[in-house]
């Protein structure tokens, strides 16, 4: 097995060739491309395979990556996988063929990456995971993972629900509808897991997830699935949505059913995008667990270190906060995404 040091040193070896090849193939038409000129010295080419554009969070994340790559003077090859793993695999293969210096990607789902990552390793191109993790039996297939702790976000959502219920003076059974993220994606698996952990440990008798289904992290998905939830379980009194976009879609269905979001159905979600804060300031969402999408600047620093053959931290966690309605109005003007 190649040690990380050797792997990175070898990666530096292909940097010059990769940079030239990338310049010669600047029109990356199948995946879309951005380029930026470096401030002298050897220009780094980064291949970034994005999940898609499913949510406000993702839009902010893409913007952050593109702006930070530009500021760093890297050539960025960017692709949008439209939430399909096969598209991301093709994009990564194309980055390998183009001999980029570093590959970064935010995996749509957790499994099924070993084969393509082995190809990157054989080509001596280091891989950084951003935002979402993977399951692999070979940890040498990526050098670092930068992003949030989704299990902790699930725990924080449950703790936030405790406060929301108390504030609402809620008495009696807590009947929870859960809108899950994309099936098989790290944030969907882990946000459910963290929430359940607290629920099972501290609220076994009074809380129950009565219905749970994926809304694929989209507004349309949240709207559609919530409408079905309300049909099958009209007595739901809490919604836990794995992201703001699904909560926002669900609000439309709750209102269409003649109920008041934030009152008849208490809502806790994850992300903290501007539209989520607007809904919270209007009293329609009761609490939001923040998940920071602005990973670009940290990622570019990491890319530089990896490209220079420096040892990097295996896991870099992002810092984030929790917000209840009383903080929403105050925080809204300064929200960056």
Indicate whether 240 belongs to the interface with ligand AHR (CB under 6 A). Answer: no
Nearer to ligand AHR, 119 or 152 (CB): 152
Indicate whether 43 belongs to the interface with ligand AHR (CB under 6 A). Answer: no
Beta-carbon contacts of residue 330 (< 8 Å; ≥ 6 apart): none
Closest distance to ligand AHR from the beta carbon of 215 (Å): 11
Q: Which residues 194-223 are close enough to bind ligand AHR by CB under 6 A?
A: 217
Listed ranges 54-62, 137-145, 227-235, 304-312: which one lies at the site for ligand AHR (CB under 6 A) = 54-62
Applying CB under 6 A, among 124, 132, 155, 159 the residue interacting with ligand AHR is 132
Q: Which two tokens stand for residue 248?
A: 């926002």
Applying CB under 6 A, among 92, 270, 306, 328 the residue interacting with ligand AHR is 270
Cβ–Cβ under 8 Å, residues 195 and 158: yes
Applying CB under 6 A, among 4, 43, 58, 124 the residue interacting with ligand AHR is 58
Beta-carbon contacts of residue 171 (< 8 Å; ≥ 6 apart): none
Indicate whether 187 belongs to the interface with ligand AHR (CB under 6 A). Answer: yes
Indicate whether 250 belongs to the interface with ligand AHR (CB under 6 A). Answer: no
Q: What is the separation, in whole angstroms, between the first and last Cα of the chain? A: 42
Distance, CA of 42 to CA of 156 (rounded, Å): 43
- CB hemisphere CA count around 42 (13 angstroms): 17
Number of residues counted as binding ligand AHR (CB under 6 A):
13
DSSP per residue, 211-239: EEEE-TTSHHHHHHHHHHHHHH-TT--EE
Where along the sequence are the contacts to ligand AHR (CB under 6 A)?
Answer: 54-55, 57-58, 131-132, 187, 217, 243, 245, 270-271, 291
């Amino acid at each position: 097995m190649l040690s990380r040091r050797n792997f990175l040193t070898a990666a530096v070896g292909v940097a010059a060739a990769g940079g030239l090849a990338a310049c010669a193939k600047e029109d990356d038409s199948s995946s879309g491309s951005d380029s930026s000129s470096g401030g002298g010295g050897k220009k780094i080419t980064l291949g970034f395979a994005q999940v898609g554009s499913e949510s406000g969070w993702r839009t902010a994340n893409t913007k952050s990556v593109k702006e930070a790559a530009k500021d760093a003077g890297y050539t960025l090859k960017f692709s949008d996988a439209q939430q399909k793993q096969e598209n991301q695999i093709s994009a990564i293969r194309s980055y390998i063929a183009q001999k980029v210096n570093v590959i970064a990607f935010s995996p749509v789902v957790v499994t099924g990456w070993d084969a393509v990552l082995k190809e990157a390793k054989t080509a001596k191109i280091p891989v950084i995971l951003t935002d979402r993790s993977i399951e692999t039996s070979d940890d040498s297939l990526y050098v670092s993972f930068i992003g949030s702790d989704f299990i902790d976000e699930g725990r924080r959502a449950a703790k936030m629900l405790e406060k929301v219920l108390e504030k609402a003076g809620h008495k009696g059974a807590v009947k929870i509808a859960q809108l899950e993220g994309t099936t098989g994606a790290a944030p969907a698996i882990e946000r459910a897991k963290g929430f359940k952990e607290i629920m099972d440990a501290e609220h076994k008798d009074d809380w129950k997830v009565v219905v749970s289904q994926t809304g694929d992290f989209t507004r349309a998905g949240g709207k559609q699935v919530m409408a079905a939830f309300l049909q099958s379980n009209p007595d739901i009194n809490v919604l836990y949505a794995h992201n703001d976009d699904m909560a926002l879609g669900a609000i439309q269905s709750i209102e269409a059913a003649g109920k008041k979001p934030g009152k008849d159905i208490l809502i806790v979600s994850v992300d903290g995008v501007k539209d989520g804060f607007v809904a919270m300031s209007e009293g329609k969402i009761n609490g939001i667990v923040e998940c920071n999408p602005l990973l670009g600047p940290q990622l570019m620093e990491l890319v530089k270190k990896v490209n220079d053959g420096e040892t990097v931290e295996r896991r870099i966690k992002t810092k984030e906060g929790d917000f209840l309605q009383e903080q929403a109005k105050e925080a809204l003007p300064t929200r960056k995404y």
